[in-house]
């Protein structure tokens, strides 16, 4: 909480806090703000509500819709947070994830003069020394960056992605606020602990910081280019590193047809079934072979080139799977397809973040019912996206958390299958998944893999055996020197302590008021001291102070809403 207190000294952060809390209250989340016990901001928020309460149109909306609209009004950081949360139905309810998936961060473009200054700051030279042509109108404008077409001095056509000036400071301020609010939410709203708000915001901070560094995206593109170097079905745009920096990314311009433009693809003579097949195979290769996959494969990020080749754009959001995660994923998918409920549960217990109070009996029942729904359906007719969606709903119901990359994969897989079915109504992801799964299973039992696993286990036990005598000696020495300590942390008592402080303060005020009244009454019985209207002045003064304090206490109690 110290970092949160330090933030309160920052004027920019305080102003943003006011704005954030005001917008939350405007969209009907005042009760959440009140639970956080931010007294100063709560009073400000009440003034905001007084000046302009939620309209009837807002009140008629559902809670997920109101939160989405609040995120839009709060700006790019909160929009990005909502977009990332839309890929995590394992940590937020499905209705929220579905609503957040509608978030779009299209914003008005910024002036060309600002873009030119930003490019010169990042690359060190004026724009006319770097490009022979540079379009003044952007081809895309989002909250973090906007994209322009250009031409190099050597003649190549390029697209230039430029980070918006000042966006980094805005996002840093908002993320600091989110961290502070996450601490307050976890401390004051007990039911929020299962959603791990602090962990979610920290993961979001890592993700958005990586997304704002365009050199990282450039290196990711280069890795994709290496992975598909020998592919005749996938084209990865070239990065021009001499014109790329942390806030500017220059890439090859790709002239293609959006995969969502079905009519134009058909009229131009493209083979839609082959495109669907190439897209599915390339995505599964990314996941199950390379361990690096495109995390945002919506139709706008896929262009189709001559020869039914696919070009992927926007590599800001990617997922990664190491060997262990790939094998866990393969085992889980095979257990589901083989309708082995016991194996599914054991894999969930091993792979997921299981809460202590999970009811495994009910979990087994729900998984059995899910698998029974698909029991009579041939594998080639199973809708993988629908099956995965229902499986994730069960994970969400039992608060089973999986690694963020696996949940991102689930969302991406559903999107890819949807695009495939638009291109080819007979498209089936299971058919494309089968050969990759079979290869993974074979790889798992190869002598090479088994020897690597055996070596890794041996190294782990060797390190444990090597460090054990030293750790045991240090433990005994600490005990002998009375320096062995156990740190205990109480959680969830902060709100109780705050309420007790308020109650004791009010009780003290009440006793003080009572004492003033009793003392003033006794003084009134005497005829000593200065007189006013025939009564002792000290008595009048005591009554006046008691009345003032009593009125103040009554107003405080009424404003708290707790009589």
Q: In the block, which residue shows the tokens 């102070």? A: 545
Q: Could you count the other beta carbons within 10 Å of the beta carbon of residue 289?
A: 14
Per-residue pLDDT for 42 more than 50? no
pLDDT of residue 246: 93
In the numeric block, which tokens belong to residue 207? 């993700």
The answer on pLDDT for 324 being more than 90 is no
Pick the range with the lowest mean pLDDT from 42-46, 250-254, 273-277, 506-510: 42-46
Q: Which of 83-87, 355-359, 516-520 has the lowest mean pLDDT?
A: 355-359
Q: Helices 341-351 & 360-373, crossing angle to 10 degrees?
A: 130
- Quick one: average pLDDT of 40-50? 45
Alpha carbons within 13 A on the beta-carbon side of 135: 17
Residue 380: predicted pLDDT: 63
Q: Where are the domains of the chain?
A: 2-105, 106-253, 256-444, 446-488, 494-560
Task: Tell me what pLDDT residue 237 has.
Answer: 95
What pLDDT sits at residue 49?
42
List CB contacts of 536: < 8 A, sequence separation 6 or more: 523, 524, 526, 527, 528, 529, 530
536 forms bridges with which residues in the sheet? 531
Query: Does pLDDT of 528 surpass 80?
Result: no
Considering only residues 49 and 326, tell me which one the structure prediction assigns the higher pLDDT: 326
CA angle 263, 299, 96 (to 5 degrees): 130
pLDDT higher at 287 or 375: 287
**Cα–Cα distance measured from residue 103 to residue 78, given in angstroms and rounded to the nearest whole number:** 10
Lowest mean pLDDT among 17-31, 112-126, 487-501: 487-501
Phi/psi of residue 383, nearest 5 degrees: -85, 105
Cα 313 from Cα 78, distance rounded (Å): 23
Share of the chain above pLDDT 70, in %: 84
DSSP state of 402: -
> How many of the other CB atoms lie within 10 Å of CB of 211?
20
How confident is the model over 98-107, as a mean pLDDT? 79
Please state, in angstroms and rounded to a whole number, the distance separating the CA atoms of residues 98 and 64: 9
Note whether 398 and 363 are within 8 A (CB): yes
Identify which has the larger pLDDT, 217 or 387: 217
Give me the pLDDT at residue 351, please.
65
Name the least confident of 32-46, 97-111, 248-262, 358-372: 32-46
Active site residue 405: no
Q: Which stretch of 148-152, 186-190, 300-304, 430-434 has the lowest confidence by average pLDDT?
A: 186-190
Lowest-confidence segment of 234-238, 256-260, 329-333, 335-339 by average pLDDT = 335-339
d(CA 354, CA 398): 8
Measured between alpha carbons, how far is 250 from 217 in angstroms, rounded to an integer?
11
| Distance from C-alpha of 554 to C-alpha of 359, rounded to nearest angstrom | 48
User: In angstroms, rounded to a whole number, what is the distance separating the alpha carbons of residues 556 and 554?
Assistant: 5
- Cα separation of 470 and 475, whole Å? 9
Q: Report yes or no on whether pTM surpasses 0.85.
A: no
The confidence score (pLDDT) of residue 488 equals 65
- What mean pLDDT is reported for the chain? 81
Q: What is the pLDDT of residue 278?
A: 93
User: Residue 524: helix, strand or coil by DSSP?
Assistant: helix
Residue 259 sits at the vertex; the CA angle it makes with 255 and 260, to the nearest 5 degrees, is: 125
Token representation of residue 388: 């995965």
Q: Could you tell me which residues come within 8 angstroms of residue 557 by beta carbon, excluding any fewer than 6 positions away?
A: 506, 563
* Residue in 90, 174, 176, 296 annotated catalytic: 296
Distance CA 511, CA 504 (A): 10
Helix (H, G, I), strand (E, B) or coil at 314: coil
> Given a cut of 60, is residue 178 above it in pLDDT?
yes
Work out the average pLDDT over 81-88.
Answer: 82
**What is the pLDDT at residue 375?**
67
Question: What's the confidence (pLDDT) of residue 276?
Answer: 93
What integer pLDDT is reported at residue 220 of this predicted model? 95
Q: What distance in Å separates the CA atoms of residue 245 and residue 121, rounded to the nearest whole number? A: 10
**Torsional sign, CA 366, 372, 373, 375:** positive
Work out the percent of the chain whose per-residue pLDDT is above 90. Answer: 23
User: Of 388 and 130, which is predicted with more confidence?
Assistant: 130
Could you give the CA distance from residue 545 to residue 563 in angstroms, rounded to a whole number?
A: 23
- pLDDT bucket at 4, cuts 50 / 70 / 90: very low
Q: Is the pLDDT of residue 2 over 60?
A: no
User: What is the mean pLDDT of the segment spanning 261-268?
Assistant: 92
> Which string of DSSP letters, residue by residue, matches 193-231?
GGG-HHHHHHHHHHHHHHHH-HHHHHHHHHHHHHHTTT-
Mean of pLDDT values over 335-356: 72
For the record, the structure tokens of 80 come out as: 């990005």
- How many angstroms separate the CA atoms of 106 and 140, rounded? 8
Lowest mean pLDDT among 218-232, 300-314, 548-562: 548-562
Q: Which residues pair with 292 in a beta bridge?
A: 320
What are the angstrom distances between the C-alpha of 190 and each of 94, 178, 201, 217, 434?
A: 21, 18, 17, 38, 44
The conformational region for residue 294 under phi > 0 = left, psi -120 to 50 = alpha, else beta, is beta
Question: pLDDT higher for 499 or 176?
Answer: 176
Q: How confident is the model over 517-527, as pLDDT tens digits?
A: 888 787 777 76
Given pLDDT bands bounded at 50, 70 and 90, which one contains residue 468?
confident
Question: How many CB atoms are located within 10 Å of the residue 398 CB?
Answer: 19
CA distance 36 to 113: 43
- What is the structure's pLDDT at 299? 83
Q: Whole-angstrom Cα distance, residue 118 to residue 248?
A: 8
Residue 46: its pLDDT value, please?
46
Question: Which residue reads 């962990």 in tokens?
Answer: 199
Answer yes or no: is pLDDT of 335 > 90. Answer: no
Q: How far from 27 is each of 61, 65, 72, 560, CA to CA, in Å?
A: 10, 10, 12, 21
Q: Is the pLDDT of residue 160 over 90?
A: yes
Looking at residue 353, what is its pLDDT?
61
- The lowest-confidence range among 134-143, 468-477, 488-497 is 488-497
Residue 477's pLDDT band (boundaries 50, 70, 90)? confident
Q: What is the CA radius of gyration of the chain?
A: 31
Q: How many C-beta atoms surround the C-beta of residue 201 within 10 A?
A: 21
Per-residue confidence (pLDDT) for residue 41, from 0 to 100: 47
Report pLDDT for 534.
Answer: 66
């Amino acid at each position: 909480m110290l970092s949160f207190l330090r933030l309160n000294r920052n004027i920019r952060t305080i102003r943003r806090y006011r704005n954030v809390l005001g917008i939350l209250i405007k969209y009907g989340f005042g009760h959440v703000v009140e639970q956080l016990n931010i007294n100063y901001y709560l009073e400000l928020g009440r003034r905001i509500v007084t000046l302009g309460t939620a309209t009837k149109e807002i009140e008629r909306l559902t809670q997920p819709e109101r939160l989405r609209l609040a995120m839009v009004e709060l700006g790019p950081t909160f929009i990005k947070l909502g977009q990332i949360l839309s890929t995590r139905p394992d940590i937020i309810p499905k209705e929220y994830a579905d609503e957040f998936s509608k978030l779009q961060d299209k914003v008005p473009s910024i002036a060309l003069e600002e873009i030119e200054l930003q490019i010169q700051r990042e690359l060190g030279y004026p724009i006319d020394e770097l490009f022979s042509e540079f379009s003044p109108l952007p081809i895309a404008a989002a909250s973090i960056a906007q994209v322009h077409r250009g031409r190099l001095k050597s003649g190549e056509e390029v697209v230039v992605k430029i980070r918006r000036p000042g966006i980094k400071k805005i996002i840093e301020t908002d993320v600091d606020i989110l961290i502070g609010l996450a601490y307050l939410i976890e401390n004051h709203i007990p039911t929020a602990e299962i959603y791990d708000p602090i962990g979610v915001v920290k993961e979001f901070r890592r993700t958005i910081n990586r997304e704002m560094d365009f050199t990282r995206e450039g290196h990711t593109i280069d890795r994709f280019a290496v992975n598909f170097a020998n592919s005749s079905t996938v084209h990865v745009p070239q990065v021009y590193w001499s014109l790329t920096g942390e806030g500017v990314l220059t890439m090859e311009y790709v002239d293609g047809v959006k995969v969502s433009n079905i009519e134009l693809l058909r009229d131009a003579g493209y083979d839609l079934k082959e495109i669907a097949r190439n897209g599915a195979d390339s995505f599964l290769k990314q996941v199950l072979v390379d361990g690096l996959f495109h995390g945002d494969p919506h139709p706008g990020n896929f262009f189709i080139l001559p020869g039914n080749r696919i070009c992927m754009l926007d590599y800001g959001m990617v997922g990664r799977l190491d060997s262990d995660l790939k094998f866990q994923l393969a085992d889980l998918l095979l257990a589901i397809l083989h309708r082995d409920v016991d194996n599914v549960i054991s894999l969930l217990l091993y792979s997921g973040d299981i809460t202590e109070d999970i009811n495994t009996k009910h979990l087994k029942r729900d998984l059995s019912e899910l698998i029974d729904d698909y029991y009579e359906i041939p594998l080639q007719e199973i809708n993988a996206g629908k099956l995965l969606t229902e499986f994730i709903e069960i994970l969400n119901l039992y608060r089973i958390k999986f690694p963020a990359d696996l949940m991102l994969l689930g969302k991406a897989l559903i999107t890819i299958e949807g695009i495939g079915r638009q291109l080819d109504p007979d498209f089936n992801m299971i058919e494309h998944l089968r050969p990759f799964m079979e290869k993974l299973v074979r790889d798992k039992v190869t002598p090479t893999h088994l020897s690597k696993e055996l070596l890794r286990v041996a190294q782990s036990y060797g390190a444990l055996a090597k460090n054990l005598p030293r750790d045991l000696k240090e433990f005994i020495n600490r005990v002998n020197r009375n320096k062995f300590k156990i740190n205990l942390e109480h959680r969830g008592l902060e709100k109780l302590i705050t309420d007790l402080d308020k109650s004791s303060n009010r009780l003290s005020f009440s006793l003080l008021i009572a004492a003033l009244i009793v003392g003033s009454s006794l003084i009134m019985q005497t005829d000593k001291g200065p007189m006013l209207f025939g009564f002792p002045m000290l008595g009048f003064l005591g009554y006046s102070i008691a009345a003032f304090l009593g009125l103040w206490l009554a107003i405080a109690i009424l404003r708290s809403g707790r009589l």
